[in-house]
Amino acid sequence: MSDSKKEIYSFDQKHLLGLEDYSAEDILYVLEQAKTFREVLDRPVPKIPTLRDKTIVNLFYENSTRTRLSFELAQKRMGADVVNFSAGTSSTKKGESLKDTIRNISSMKIDMVVSRHESPGVPHFLTRCVDASIINAGDGAHEHPTQALLDMFTMQQTYPELKGKKIAIIGDISHSRVVRSNIIGLKKVGADVVVCGPKSFMPVHVESLGAEVSYNLDETLAWCDIAMALRIQMERVGGGTDLFPSLREYHETFGIKMEHLEKYPNFTVMHPGPINRGVEMQSDVADSDRAVILNQVTNGVAVRMAVLYLLSGGSRI
Ligand code: NCD
């Protein structure tokens, strides 16, 4: 890296449990390192074998498409030995506890665990059971730090300086781990965050995280530089369709539409996926040139490569 200040920055985190535990400097350092990995991905042979002596377990107790493939690709691009664990096809079905599962996996001499689980706090629990580095790939509605990092990386591609940028996050704020990690990370680097959605999807103390609240989509879109829409987390709503009258009405009030893109020519559209087309946004909005949703997916691999690299003890490339 050319900037000498960055070369001497000492990143000394062992885990990535949440952005709560990372300083603004840690976050910006990961994003800076991810730029190099993003360039690697554009090479004819997109491989950099810096993890060839590492063994990583992907421990997924909850469904995932993007996050899981992205981690696995990042690990393989870096030459790590990778083993995958899915709750649905494991001895969890035979009654084995999480603690026993992780202790058994750990006896196989692993260096890192990537964990996704429906219960908040599972990654923290894992740090007390094994010696490996733990990366949180989503714990219930708590945090999803690598998603927020890849979102911030994608925002930086349009706005290299995030300080003072206006970020709107729209949708099911109560049940989203993506929004929590994004608010925490974005506030740390000095961005302004507004969360927008129905009152029934607004957690009581959301302001305590530093975000402002809006119930008006038009006002929010007129204000923001970036609008990130979120899926309604049906699996966490607990059948509570009383939280909103109908998907059609939700879309009417909080869905991003082509008319918004015309009316407010400034904002960029993001979404962590999976998208419910016709609910969070019109299908044409997702496919428009104002959306950077697939860039988020590509950037996710680079950001996860940077996280794996730094947690495995690499300090700079
Ligand atoms: C998010 C998640 O799992 O929290 N998705 C993802 O990781 N790409 C958001 C969601 O499921 O809606």
* Residue 273 Cβ contacting ligand 1 at under 6 Å: yes
| Angle at which helices 24-41 and 177-188 cross, to 10° | 110
Span 14-20, mean pLDDT?
98
Task: Find all residues with CB under 8 Å of 312, minimum gap 6, and list them.
Answer: 50, 51, 54, 111, 112, 133
Q: Check pLDDT > 60 for residue 200.
A: yes
Per-residue b or e along 170-183, where b marks 16 or more CB atoms closer than 10 Å to that residue's CB: bbbbbbbbbbbbbb
In one-letter notation, the amino acid at residue 271 is H
Domains, the chain, in order of start with CATH, read 3-144+298-311 (3.40.50.1370), 145-292 (3.40.50.1370)
**Cα 68 to averaged position of ligand 1 atoms, centre (Å):** 11
Chain centroid to CA 296: 10
Band (316; pLDDT cuts 50, 70, 90): very low
- Spatial strand order of the sheet with 192-196 comes to 212-214, 192-196, 166-170, 226-229, 268-270
Ligand 1: centre distance to CA 65 (Å): 9
Ligand 1 touching residue 290 (CB < 6 A): no
CB of 38 shorter than 6 A to ligand 1: no
SS3 content of the chain, % helix, strand, coil (to 5): 45, 15, 40
Ligand 1 center from residue 9 Cα (angstroms): 31
How many angstroms does the Cα of residue 297 sit away from the middle of ligand 1? 12
CA distance 56 to 314: 16
Q: Whose CA is nearest to atom 12 of ligand 1?
A: 231
| Rounded Cα gap, residues 132 and 146, in angstroms | 18
Is a pLDDT exceeding 60 seen at residue 5?
no
- Report the pLDDT value the prediction gives residue 293, as an integer from 0 to 100: 98
271 CB near ligand 1 (under 6 Å): no
Q: Ligand 1 pocket: which of 67, 175, 295 to mutate (most atoms <8 Å of CB)?
A: 67
pTM metric for this prediction: 0.94
**pLDDT confidence of residue 172:** 95
Residue 74 near residue 301, CB atoms below 8 Å: yes
77 lines ligand 1 (CB under 6 A): no
Question: Would you say the CB of residue 144 lies under 6 angstroms from ligand 1?
Answer: yes
CA-CA distance, 110 to 196, in Å (whole number)?
Answer: 42
123 within ligand 1 shell (Cβ under 6 A): no
- Report strand pairing: 212-214 vs 226-229: unpaired
289-294 long-range Cβ contacts below 8 angstroms, 24+ apart: 290/261, 292/154, 292/157, 292/158, 292/268, 293/269
Is 54 within 8 Å of 313 (Cβ atoms)?
no
Q: How far is the CA of 232 from the centre of ligand 1 (A)?
A: 10
Does residue 178's CB lie within 6 angstroms of at least one atom of ligand 1?
yes
Atom of ligand 1 at shortest range from CA of 137: 7
CA 71 to chain centre: 12
Higher-confidence residue of 5 and 140: namely 140
**Per-residue pLDDT reduced to its tens digit, 122-154:** 999 999 999 999 999 999 999 999 999 999 999
pLDDT tens by residue, 250-297: 999 999 999 999 999 999 999 999 999 999 999 999 999 999 999 999
The residues carrying an active-site annotation are 66-67, 94, 116, 144
Residue 85 pairs with which residues in a beta bridge? Answer: 59
Token reading at 67? 């996050």
Top mutation candidate among 63, 144, 294 for ligand 1, by most atoms within 8 Å of CB = 144
CA of 61 to the centre of ligand 1 (A): 14
- The 10s digit of each residue's pLDDT in 90-119 is 677 678 888 888 888 888 889 999 999 999
Cβ 180 under 6 angstroms from ligand 1: no
Tell me what pLDDT residue 8 has.
Answer: 65
Closest approach atom of ligand 1 to CA 230: 12
Phi and psi of 137, rounded to 5°?
-105, 25
